[in-house]
Structure 1
Amino acid sequence: MEVLNSIIYLLMEWNLSMLMFIVYFVIISVSGTLINFVRNWVPLPHAFIQAFKFGKMAHTAQVNALVAHLEVPKRWFMHFYIFASVIVTVAIMQMWTLYVMRSPLPAWASLTLDVLSTPHRKPTVYFLAVNVTTAALGLSLLAAQIYRRLYENLFISVFSSGRINILHYIVGHTHYLGAVILLVSEAPGFDGEEQDVSISGVTYLQIVGTLVCFFGFAIQNKSLRLLAALRKHHGKKVTEKHIMPQGGMFEVVSCPHMMAEVLVYLGILLILQRHTGWIIVTLWVISNQIQVAVMNHKWYQEIFKDYPRKRRAIFPFLL
């Protein structure tokens, strides 16, 4: 028991969730840059490329048998959102208990936040504290994103028989757990200090952030419906063939659904303002979406010889 307490104490000295996102940000930035921009001049190990690329972009040259055994079906993406739905629902229930029922945070919830973030999770003097309205609105929009993505995975998206590396699968689960933990970790009542939990008025910046999120919701849903329609006829799956997407924001970017993901997290960042943890989460999301979008864009250009030159990878007229 003493050893277990020592381990827990050691873990509490580190903000594990923030450290995880920093590591993810560095890995995706370095690996994505190597594969997207350096590989044409410097040969990279095939096992490394195979582990990083997935789905339609999957690396097929000199396939490594060990890496191949560490792959799972791409359609398991839906597991991310099933797991995330449970996590964010628990967080919402705890927030309701704190802010509406005025009951203290349970010991197990405090311990979880202490271990997965840190007991010392008050923002520094250089950052703004998160108030009740800000935290509740940010968590509600993140929950809406998760619930909507679960619905889209279950009832809209048509997955191919492609596969993803087990590391992608693990990252998908830990992303949502870490995002929820970091979002609430600095919120009043969750930050380990006794303070007022009264609801304040909504600011103009919070309204703008909410509108940005809803804009992202709409773009992502429309884009995923257009992608699904390429493989459906009268609502039923008829093919797994990859067809050049057209319509909507696909006319200007190859991956509008990834641009929309960035918009959602930026919208929540506008609401949370200088929330220390959410800045790291947003940087990771932006880096990840850019690197994957660039890979998709290059794949489209290689496969479809008449691919529109005016299209960018993820941000209209920019990248």
Structure 2
Amino acid sequence: MTTFSLFYTTLDLLYQLNLCKFMFVFYTVVISLGGCVVNFLSGVVAAPPLLLQAFKFGKMAHTTQVSRLLAALEVPRRWFSHFYVSASLVVTVALCLMWSVCVSEASLPPWAATTLDVLTTPHRTPAVNATSAAVALCLLALQIYRRLYENLFVSVFSSGHMNILHYIVGHTFYLGAVTLLLSQAPGFTTPESHIVFSGIEIQHVIGTVIFLFGFVVQHWSLCLLAGLRKNRGKNLQEKYLMPEGGLFEVVSCPHMLAEVLLYIGLLVILGLGNDWLWVTLWVLSNQVQVALMNHKWYQDTFKNYPKHRHAIFPFVL
């Protein structure tokens, strides 16, 4: 086999692979294994500084001589808003495509079909019905737009930094999630399937209620966090205070609990027999590991930190 034929064979294999699904599986494995090392084995084995640098940021940032050498790989934490700017553009395009394909019954534009072929697979079959896909996409868009608003007008970021890997993951997460959802909807598969909107079913109601509960809890919790820094001098804004009120009374990271609930709600709407399960598993693993890091930081920083608080799940973890 020549070098060129090997190259084209490799490209063809990648083309057949569902890159979005692979990405979420890869992210889940990495955050689970790396998070376990940082959260549970740091006292037993010495975690590599590069691993600590990749997992800890902001108030938890790992500071060593090695990590300072890696400062070139960091970006300001306030760049979180970039995630939601790009995500808002992607989900808006997705909403327009769904309206065009599912409501106006237009054909999927060639550029959109090619994008789905490359990012997922050219052999797509419907895994959800049109109603489930439309409800889930609208709720996901609502979440993204709200997070953009919060990042621009509610949150008060410190001068902390995050690893460039966080920045990359933040952008690819929303692109992958929206693309994966569309790729399983009728009208976006190959060949294009017949689109039929069914009535609202019980799983749509249950999933929406779970989603909206998480939606409200997350906004409330982020407003409480922002309130700890607002109306204070610049130097005081860099100081961290112990959060109180709302679900902060029972868990250290209610906003992360809410994030898990949001995606579980979408999973209930879409059902278990589709690739959205991998998106949910990634969100669950990521939020749990980061919540555990935050919880330990709170315990180490505030000597009077309430002992009854758990990290993310009330009375459990």
Secondary structure of the structure 1 residue equivalent to 2:70: helix
Mark the CA change 1:279 to 1:303 in structure 2 (over 3 Å): closer, same or farther: same
**Superposition RMSD on alpha carbons, in Å?**
1.9
Q: For residues 278 and 130 of structure 1, what CA distance do their matches in structure 2 show?
A: 10
For residue 59 of structure 2, what is the aligned residue in structure 1?
56
For residue 32 of structure 1, what is the aligned residue in structure 2?
35
Mark the CA change 1:153 to 1:275 in structure 2 (over 3 Å): closer, same or farther: farther
Mark the CA change 1:306 to 1:259 in structure 2 (over 3 Å): closer, same or farther: same
Which of structure 1's runs of 4+ aligned residues deviate more than 6 A?
Answer: 2-7, 234-237
- Note the 1:91-106 alignment, pairs <5 A: 91-106=94-109
Q: For residues 200 and 286 of structure 2, what CA distance do their matches in structure 1 show?
A: 31
For residue 71 of structure 1, what is the aligned residue in structure 2?
74
1:274 to 242, 247, 272: 272
Q: Does 1:193 pair with 2:191?
A: yes
Matched to 2:79, the amino acid is: W
Secondary structure of the structure 1 residue equivalent to 2:269: helix
Q: Which moved more, 1:191-200 or 1:161-170?
A: 191-200
For residue 45 of structure 2, what is the aligned residue in structure 1?
42
Number of residue pairs the alignment of both structures matches: 313
1:248-295: per-residue Cα shift (whole Å, max 9, x none)? Answer: 000000000000000000000000002421000100000000000000
Q: For residues 51 and 272 of structure 2, what CA distance do their matches in structure 1 show?
A: 36
Using structure 2 for the length normalisation, give the TM-score: 0.94
1:169-201: per-residue Cα shift (whole Å, max 9, x none)? Answer: 000000000000111101000012233212110
Q: For residues 275 and 158 of structure 1, what CA distance do their matches in structure 2 show?
A: 40
Matched to 2:222, the amino acid is: L
- Note the 1:17-28 alignment, pairs <5 A: 17-28=20-31
Matched to 1:107, the amino acid is: P
For residue 223 of structure 1, what is the aligned residue in structure 2?
221
1:30-82: per-residue Cα shift (whole Å, max 9, x none)? Answer: 00000000001111122321222100000013343442110000000000000
Contact 2:128 2:274 in 1 (8 A): no
For residue 16 of structure 1, what is the aligned residue in structure 2?
19
1:146-166: per-residue Cα shift (whole Å, max 9, x none)? Answer: 000000000000000000000
Q: For residues 295 and 43 of structure 1, what CA distance do their matches in structure 2 show?
A: 16
Q: For residues 104 and 235 of structure 2, what CA distance do their matches in structure 1 show?
A: 47
2:150 to 131, 149, 152: 152
- In percent, how many aligned pairs have the same letter? 59
- Note the 1:75-154 alignment, pairs <5 A: 75-122=78-125, 129-154=127-152
1:226-251: per-residue Cα shift (whole Å, max 9, x none)? Answer: 00000012899962210000000000
Q: Does 1:183 pair with 2:181?
A: yes
